Every structure is written in C-alpha cells, then in structure tokens.
Amino acid sequence: MRTCASDRRSSFVIVAPPALSLAHAHPIKQSLLTSADASVDPTSSFQSRDPIMSRSETLFANAQKHIPGGVNSPVRAFKSVGGTPLFFKHAAGAYVTDEDDKRYVDYVGSWGPMILGHSHPEVLDAVRSQLEHGLSYGAPTAMETEMADLVCSLVPSMEMVRMVSSGTEATMSAIRLARGYTGRDSIIKFEGCYHGHSDSLLVKAGSGALTLGVPSSPGVPAAFAKHTLTVPFNDLEAVRDMLAQVGQEVACIIVEPVAGNMNCVPPAPGYLQGLRDLCDEHGVVLIFDEVMTGFRVALGGAQAYYGVTPDLSTFGKIIGGGMPVGCFGGKREIMSHIAPLGPVYQAGTLSGNPLAMAAGLTTLRLISRPGFHDELSDYTRRLLEGLQQRADAAGIAFVTTQAGGMFGLYFSDAREIVTFQDVMTSDADRFKRFFHLMLEGGVYLAPSAFEAGFTSIAHGDAELQLTLDAAEKAFAALK
C-alpha cells in the first residue's frame, strides 16, 4: 500500500488481526454496535437502484429559494464534484439514508464527530434523559465541570478548558487569548489549513474555501488580513525564516497537526516538534487545531499520537457526540487571562449547553474503552490497503494517507503526499468521477477532493467488503 505513514511516536501500535465476521467481531465492536444497526442490511445491493435522486433534486430546488445556494455550509452544495447534493433523513450505525430511501456506507460521519457511528443508543439515551430536565439554562451545570475534568484528564495540553458552541468559536477565541496573553497582533497559519470562518483565518484557507476556489474571502478587511502570515505546511524552514524576520510580532502559530482540510496530510517526521521548539525560542503560543484530530487520531488527540504538547488546543463537535459544541484550553498560565479571571473577553449563551454535555460525556466515556482506537485505526488501514490493491490492479495512479481513523484519497502518481502543492496537483477531475461511481455503488465519500474521510467503530467487515466491491467497479470504469 502506498500510504503516507505519519510520524508515530506514541504507544498506539496497531497489530493487524485476521479478518473478522460480524458474528465474531472484536469485543469493542460487539459492545458498541447497536440495536440501531439491526435495521440495516449491509449486504443489500445498490447497483440496481435508480441513480436519479428526484426527491433530493426537488428539495434542493426548493431550498435555493430562501437559503443561499440551497445549503447552510458551502461544501454540501456538491460544487466540487457536480450533481445534486444528497438530502439525508436518517442515519444509523455506519449508514446514512437519503430522501429517496437510498442507503450508503458513510465515510463523512458529519465531518468527523460520529466516531461511534450514527444514533448510538447510549448517546441518544443520554440526550433523551437531559431533555426531561430542560434544553438550556444559560447558567452553570454540574455536567460542565464533569466534561472539563474528563477533557483535562485525557488531553496532554489541557490544564483548563472553556466550552463554546463550535470549532470556529474555539479557534477564534484561542487566537484572541494568545494575542491578549502575548500582547502581539500577528499570527502564523499554513496554506490549505482551515480553522473556521472568522475573518483573520480566511486567508489561504482550506476546506470549503479551497473547494470553491476562494481561499481568501471577500469581506475580510485588509487590516485584518495583514496580521495573518501564511507559510507552507510541512516546511519547517519557512516557519524558521518567518520568525527570524517578525518573531517579536507573532502571538501564535495555529496548525492542524494533521491537515484535514486539504484532504488528509500527516505531519512530516519531526515537523510538529520543530514547531514546538521554534515557538519556545520566540515566545510564541503554539495552538493545535484538533477539531478534526481530537479524540479520533488517538484518545488524547494528535498531540498524544505524535508526542508533542501545544500551549493551547481547540476541539469541535466530537466532544458533544455530534451536537453543536466546541472547546479550547491549555496551560493554566494562559487560560487565566480569559474572562472572568482575566481581561480577554469571551462569552456564549449556549456554551456548555446541557444537551451537548450529556451527549459528549457519554461519547468520551465510550471511546475511552481499551482497544477502541486500535480497532478504529485497523479498520481504516484495511480499507486503504484494499482500495490501493484495487487501484493498482486497474492501473490507476492512486495514493492514500492515514492518521488513526482519518484518511485521504488522491488520484496522483506522487510517491507521497506531504505539501499543499502535492494536494493541488492531484487529479480532482478523476476524483469527481470516482465520487459519483462510489455513490452509485452505495458508498458516501466527502463530496470534495480536498476533504478528509472518517471511519467509525460501527464500520465492520460487511461495510468494508461493500466499499471495496464498489471501488473495484469504480476503478475499472475510470480506465
């Protein structure tokens, strides 16, 4: 398999087990696969179904009357791959079902947080239980403290944590805190990395901005953008040179430890530690944006996986089991500058809302079970090996990347994917065809060549076989 292996300096060693049937599944999978999966027949055929998505087409046309572009987040519009975006109405286990009652093996997972699979009964029960006590109080709850204690116990960098309502809020607040703590204005980010849609971060961004071809958004004042310095990802010398020139003006470096918004690009060996050393040398706050990698690459996030501890970290929906939530936190010395302890203001009516805390506490406890992340990573490895074998057999230039339960797929003859330019030179047109062929085969991938894929503990042998069968036909059609 031509997989770009990441720099693994942690104890998460994966030993490949023999192929398992669902009847003899891994103990973790047996305990976490749910009654919600019982209604899903993973062996059903998608090949004979009508590929015309009339219900989705109708809904999309109606949506465009009052919703800009018909969607509430740009990447959902299928602009990168063409065609009509799917409208979903149900999700259970490893599957999503669209409005035309077509079911797909899901490798998007609500863009990462559904690590347990969809509709896990223990998570749903936790939310139902909280519903009996109210939706939102706008006041402190015991669950907020439980969540803070749990996050701080699991994540190496966390000494204090503040809950927010989204990953964008988390990164925006962490940067404001870094600026307030250091008294400096400039930040360094990396080409193709996406940290939410706050003004100072929409400069050479990834994710939907990259998908739509507008990495520097109109509406961002030049006065904001001038404080955002951008360098290539995985190029330590570029960071060194930038800090040598303006290090005394830089408040923070913010980085996705695995770049998941230009597909999935792991850090080069020694890269993250190099950033850590440079930040220490110049008095710069190092922020890991773990909205994608947190609790997914490893239980302690990418910082545990790679053995590099940032000053601040940000997390997103996974800490709420898929509910709208996020958090940022890190060193007590820095976090003590946030209001009401310090002068850096940050607030939110729905921050730490009880529904998200109930779902999140249950999710984090379930994924803390021994062996969970080994099983997740092993499924991902087997998936990528199978895809690579079928691409090679079809004579298709194809390369994959992996970090735990995250993966990237590239139509490229490159030996490895390391930089933003490597991503941009992959064959996006071929990916478009592959995406729709896989969709016809009952497999839902991210609708963009610039987005990472995600697996869940609900994915098993049946889902793997269905995916690989669809891929074999897709690769053959791409010749």
The per-residue pLDDT of the chain, averaged, comes to: 87
CATH number at residue 236: 3.40.640.10
HSE, side-chain direction, 13 A CA sphere, residue 445: 31
Residues 282 and 424 in one domain: no
Report the amino acid identity of residue 443: V
Residue 317 bears catalytic tag: yes
Looking at the fold, whether 222 and 126 belong to one and the same domain comes out as yes
Contacts of 87 (CB under 8 A, 6+ apart): 55, 56, 59, 60, 98, 99
- Three-state SS for 401? strand
Within 10 angstroms of residue 360's Cβ, the number of other Cβ atoms is 31
Q: Which of the residues in the chain have pLDDT under 70?
A: 1-53, 197-200, 202-217
195 and 281 assigned to the same domain: yes
Tokens of 479: 């010749």
Smallest Cα–Cα separation from 471: which of 411, 405, 426, 425? 411
End-to-end, the C-alpha distance of the chain in Å comes to 20
CATH of the domain at 76: 3.90.1150.10
Q: How far apart are CA 251 and CA 188, in angstroms?
A: 8
CA distance 169 to 328: 9
Is residue 387 located within the same domain as residue 434? yes
Q: Which residue has the tokens 């530690």?
A: 273
DSSP bridge partners of 443: 105
Which residue range forms the structural domain that includes residue 114? 3-120+370-478
Same domain, 223 and 132: yes
Element containing residue 165 per DSSP (H, E)? none
Pairing of strands 399-403, 406-410: antiparallel
- The residues, any chain, with a CB within 8 Å of residue 282's CB and separated by 6 or more, are 243, 247, 248, 250
Q: Is 473 a catalytic residue?
A: no
Q: Are 137 and 114 in the same domain?
A: no
Regarding whether 444 and 309 lie in a shared domain, the answer is: no
pLDDT digits (tens, 9 = 90+) for 378-427: 999 999 999 999 999 999 999 999 999 999 999 999 989 999 999 999 99
| 159 in the same domain as 190 | yes
Domain stops at, among 315, 335, 367: 367
Q: Is 298 helix (H, G, I), strand (E, B) or coil?
A: coil
Give the residue from 367, 391, 414 where a domain finishes. 367
* Residue partners of 394: CB distance under 8 A and separation at least 6: 472, 475, 476, 478, 479
Q: What is the rounded distance in angstroms from the CA atom of residue 107 to the CA atom of residue 110?
A: 9
With residue 400 as reference, give the H or E element that holds it.
strand 399-403
In a shared domain, residues 243 and 128 = yes
> In angstroms, rounded to a whole number, what is the distance separating the alpha carbons of residues 409 and 101?
27
CA of 449: how far to CAs of 262, 304, 379, in Å?
Answer: 8, 28, 22
Whether 240 and 159 share a structural domain: yes
Alpha helices in 206-258 (DSSP H): 207-211, 222-225, 236-246
Question: Exposed, middle or buried by CB within 10 Å (0-12, 13-18, 19+), for 239?
Answer: buried
Q: Where are the beta strands (DSSP E) in 192-264?
A: 228-231, 250-255
Closest C-alpha to 8, from 237, 290, 299, 302: 302
Give the domain-ending residue among 367, 400, 430. Answer: 367
Pair 159, 197 in one domain: yes
Q: Please indicate, yes or no, whether residues 202 and 321 belong to a single structural domain of this protein.
A: yes
Q: Is the dihedral of CA 127, 133, 138, 144 positive or negative?
A: negative
How many domains does the chain fold into?
2
Q: Which of 100, 289, 378, 427 is catalytic?
A: 289
- What is the spatial distance between Cα 304 and Cα 8, in angstroms, rounded to a whole number? 10
- Single out the residue of 190, 165, 384 nearest to residue 291, CA to CA: 165
Q: What is the C-alpha to C-alpha distance for residues 303 and 301, in angstroms, rounded to an integer?
A: 5
Q: Which of 102, 204, 317, 432 is catalytic?
A: 317
- % helix, strand, coil for the chain, step of 5: 40, 15, 45
